[in-house]
Structure 1
């Protein structure tokens, strides 16, 4: 066999296996999900009826489904605040600070911890009677601020969003830190020669150079805010009185508690479309700022 043909055969063979796995484990399930979203499949039966767009109408018209996104607004606000704090920490820890590697490790450590372990840990922090947060407020003389942090419908989502901010801030910081370390020092030396101060260099050099990374981190945090599941599921089960229910939690409940996999599939497709729309809107906003 000629060398050129051997080379093509080898390339095709190496590509065929991952492409087959990609089609089998990603594209085929996605196609089936889209197909089931137009049916009343219960997740078990081999027979189901075609409903057309009825499931999508139910998602958009039933406030019990689409209205839960209001509960996720604190996660959006927390995601934006998370990026601001992470960028500030990255800038500080990119300098010649003594012990900066230790600080980086401490800030990144919460991301390594298992999400279930974090949820159970904060269950003790937010406990109404013996929680460490209420005990701390009592010790410093702020006992008037003691709350039922997970039992108060007005505060529960902000409490959960605070846990999410603490958990993922270090991961976001590491991405910013890697981007900062890739910036050339010559650019800053030229700016110093021209008389630019630290704030001017940050505003006119650092932030414009990080636009793509900021866009990536914002997309990751905001899309994560759309698909929150583990914290409310473990800590509150969507309570009190549905105040902490999220769209993904509602989707799982629809599929496995009410055995309506067709409607749950439609909800999953809607969540995917919302994530794509969020990415498109974010890119339009950043392009407008560049212009």
Structure 2
């Protein structure tokens, strides 16, 4: 028996629901992928290419191989700038700890809690350049900080130069990140804490758990993903600090961070190849820090998660036993 195959109808095929859904997905994905390719991936590949050349923005290029990468670690200013990231990493962990503490308190009913949240979140809304100018005048000799300390009883001559004294100026500038980003992380933590099942708190309250035990066995394991994410963002942000030292001191007096030195090499000294190599080294460091952080999450927080599950099960078992005894 001969059967004729129906001719392919392109109009009917393209109007079918399955094909329409796929075309819609491809269409909506095409624009962002194209923008990502043009403005991210292609420039990154070109920067990677430039890192092997001794070049300026305009002029001839000379291939130097890995010389720029070796110079990143041999130049005193580049390596010193990389070490300054430690100040900002410490400040980042301090502000994360403070943000987590405030979030643990303000997630529950507190009188005036909304007002406190607004005041703490406000610094994050101020742009980085404005924050730099604020603290530039705050730390300037004889201005805000010195005046307040004199009211307390300190003598102006005994106070250090907050922005010139190399023993304290990097600590002073790193402290600005605590003021600016603490509110943002607090809001993220509050959102995560409020998504925790309220029955866990009720079970813990019945068992007489203290506030610290509630945090240790309920809050912390439940929001570990947000904590790790904020830690990764804090570390990567600390490695790429630019605005505070650039605006406050312009990188002078030993405050030039990695990005500030990179900016000077690229735009002042016109050493585009060396600056590109610095950017690639920073990318590798950030990638390594992220992988290290994830490894820590899988090992340490995974153990904490199992402990939290066992604790919740014990609490539910006690509640069932109590209910049976009451009957």
Distance 1:142 1:170 in 2: 30
Distance 1:174 1:106 in 2: 12
Aligned position for 1:150 = 163
1:71 Cα deviation (Å)?
Answer: 2.2
Q: What's 1:48 paired with?
A: 61
Seen in structure 2, the aligned counterparts of structure 1 residues 190 and 153 have a Cα distance that, compared at 3 Å, is same
- Give the TM-score of the pair, scaled to structure 2: 0.84
Kindly tell me: are residues 213 and 10 of structure 1, through their superposed partners in 2, closer, same or farther at Cα, counting changes over 3 Å?
closer
Give the one of 39, 64, 82 matched to 2:53: 39
Q: Distance in 2 between matches of 1:20 and 1:68?
A: 35
Following the alignment from structure 1 to structure 2, what is the Cα–Cα distance between the partners of residues 262 and 276? 21
Q: Are the counterparts in 2 of residues 72 and 157 from structure 1 also a CA contact under 8 Å?
A: no
Residue number in structure 2 paired with 1:275: 286
* 3-state SS in 1 of match to 2:53: coil
Runs of 4+ residues deviating >6 angstroms: none
Is residue 2:71 matched to residue 1:58?
A: yes
SS of 1:43 mapped into structure 2: coil
Q: CA deviation at 1:192?
A: 2.1
Structure-2 residue corresponding to 1:140: 152
Between the aligned partners of 2:92 and 2:20, the Cα distance in structure 1 is 51
Larger radius of gyration: 2
**Aligned equivalents of 1:196, 1:6: Cα separation in 2:** 56
C-alpha distance in structure 2 between counterparts of 1:185 and 1:7, whole Å:
40
Aligned equivalent of 2:108: 95
The answer for unaligned runs of 5 or more in structure 1 is none
- Which structure 2 residues correspond to residues 129-278 of structure 1 after superposition, within 5 A? 129=142, 131-143=143-155, 146-240=159-253, 243-278=254-289
Note if 1:20 corresponds to 2:31.
no
Any idea what the Cα deviations from partners look like across 1:191-226, whole Å, max 9, x if unmatched?
222332222111111111121111111111111111
| 1:251-278 superposed Cα distances (whole Å, 9 cap, x missing partner) | 1111011111111011001111101111
Measured on the aligned residues, the alpha-carbon RMSD in Å equals 1.5
Would you say how many aligned residue pairs link Structure 1 and Structure 2?
A: 287
* 1-structure distance, mates of 2:275, 2:186: 35
Deviation at 1:51, TM superposition (A): 1.6
List gaps (5 residues or longer) in structure 2: 1-10, 304-327
> Within 1, Cα distance between the matches of 2:278 and 2:162?
29
TM-score normalised by structure 1 residue count: 0.94
Q: What is the CA–CA distance in structure 1 between the aligned matches of 2:180 and 2:105, rounded to whole Å?
A: 19
When structure 1 is superposed on structure 2, of 94-103 and 192-201 the one drifting more is 192-201
State the match for 1:110 in structure 2: 123
**What does the per-residue CA deviation read over 1:144-196, in whole Å, with 9 as the maximum and x for residues that have no partner?**
75221011111111110111110111011111111011111011112222332
CA distance in 2, matches of 1:159, 1:7: 55
